[in-house]
Structure 1
Amino acid sequence: MKLVVVSAGLSVPSSTRLLGDRLAAATVRRAGADADVEVDVEVVELRDLAVEIAHNFTNGFPGRELAAAIDAVTSADGLIVVTPVFSASYSGLFKSFFDVMSGGDKDVLAGKPVLIAATGGSGRHSLVLEHALRPLFAYLRAVVVPTGVYAASEDWGAEGLAERVERAAGELAGLMVGLATGPRGSGAGAGAVTGAGGRFEVIPFAQQLAALRP
């Protein structure tokens, strides 16, 4: 399976990229431990695509690296998207990338599992996940996991952040595995197991998530 991390961090090193890497590592670990599934990770650094994103707005055509990034995101089995907080919302670079990728097609991420995350200097901006990021990906018809992860400067090294990372990663891994073994995979359907007589028994999604939590 393929997991793509989209990071809108601007600095090097970047706390935004660091959070994306932690979430990816936890998702890979949970998918392997809970479902024995191997996950490959690819990272898309938006700062490296800033010029091509700007050119796409003016000429309507993606450059080679931007086109490769868009293909990686649209073909992924799951996404982790991480942005720094600018003016109490996602960064302009972050929004511009998804505007270019969708190109007016709001179904471009339809049904794709997405974990939303953000970094900021203060915990006061943690609601950016709910008032900005979640509505954006709901509009693109993605399946956003229940737990978003926000990391303020004081959160690094704190137990609370580690717990949120693990919980969100478990939810994303569960969705990725469930969809991969569903109609697009083996045909069993997400959240279904084979019961007596070859019939399928539907397991409620809340029960599946509860089983993934540490």
Structure 2
Amino acid sequence: MQPLKLVVVSAGLGKPSSTRLLGDRLAEATRRGLAGRDVAADVQVVELRDVAVDIANNLLTGFPAPGLRAAIEAVTEADALIAVTPIFTASYSGLFKSFFDVLDNTALVGKPVLIAATGGTARHSLALEHALRPLFAYLRATVAPTAVYAATDDWGSGAAAGTDGLGARITRAGGELADLAGRVPRTAPRRAPIDEVVPFAEQLAALRRG
């Protein structure tokens, strides 16, 4: 059997980024969980900062540039997804939301997804439940029960050792995603219909008719 395709979508803006670091930690925990079920995994990371301009242009024109097209295909064809965003003003970042806006609205149906976020203080952790979880529920993804939030203070010795706090949440969430991914039959890759691009004028006319 081919390895399971695990894709991490990181909306971190910095380089290095705590958002990317959290995504990497969750991917490793998921890979360990899958290995315990005798399932191999290939991990791919989609850094949204690298396609930010392409996302904006796609929203205006409906035409994805090659870099954005590759990111969309990676997410659409993934067997499982880890989605990580920084929290700004008590919600996901605009870059994060804009990327999922350009996906086909059926791209994530039934796909196992683990949601996670980073922020300066713990008081923003509820954004996972009042913003991210409803977003992926709307997209009809299968969202893992444990969502992981990492505040600045969470990156301590306990998190690094994986014995308590953030480390324990990462391990639990990775195991849950591995369990969900192991239950979903892997069939032919589902592609977003981006090869046949509908001109923006036609999309606008259709919206007005609706």
TM-score category by the smaller chain? 0.7 to 0.9
* Residue 8 in structure 1 maps to residue 11 in structure 2: yes
Correspondences of 1:136-147 after superposition (within 5 Å): 136-147=135-146
Correspondences of 1:66-85 after superposition (within 5 Å): 66-85=68-87
Correspondences of 1:143-158 after superposition (within 5 Å): 143-157=142-156, 158=158
Aligned to 1:125: 124
Measured after TM superposition, the shift of residue 65 of structure 1 is 0.6
Quick one: distance in 1 between partners of 2:102 and 2:62?
A: 9
Quick one: distance in 2 between partners of 1:54 and 1:3?
A: 26
Measured after TM superposition, the shift of residue 18 of structure 1 is 0.1
Identity %: 67
Cα deviation, 1:36-93, whole Å, max 9, x if unaligned, reads: 1100000000000001001101111100010010000010000000000011000000
Aligned to 1:177: 182
Aligned to 1:112: 111
Measured after TM superposition, the shift of residue 98 of structure 1 is 0.3
* Aligned-CA RMSD value: 1.2
Measured after TM superposition, the shift of residue 180 of structure 1 is 3.0
Give the residue type in structure 1 aligned to 2:148.
V
Quick one: distance in 1 between partners of 2:76 and 2:44?
A: 12
Aligned to 2:62: 60
Quick one: distance in 2 between partners of 1:72 and 1:180?
A: 18
Quick one: distance in 2 between partners of 1:73 and 1:148?
A: 19
Quick one: distance in 1 between partners of 2:175 and 2:5?
A: 16
Partner-residue secondary structure (3-state), 2:184: helix
Cα deviation, 1:154-206, whole Å, max 9, x if unaligned, reads: 1112321000000000000011111137xx49xxxxxxxxxxxxxxxxxxxxx
TM-score (normalised: structure 1): 0.82
Partner-residue secondary structure (3-state), 2:99: helix
Q: What runs of 5+ residues in structure 1 fail to find an aligned partner?
A: 186-214
Runs (4 or more) in structure 1 with deviation over 2 Å come to none
Aligned length: 179
* Residue 161 in structure 1 maps to residue 160 in structure 2: no
Quick one: distance in 2 between partners of 1:180 and 1:145?
A: 17
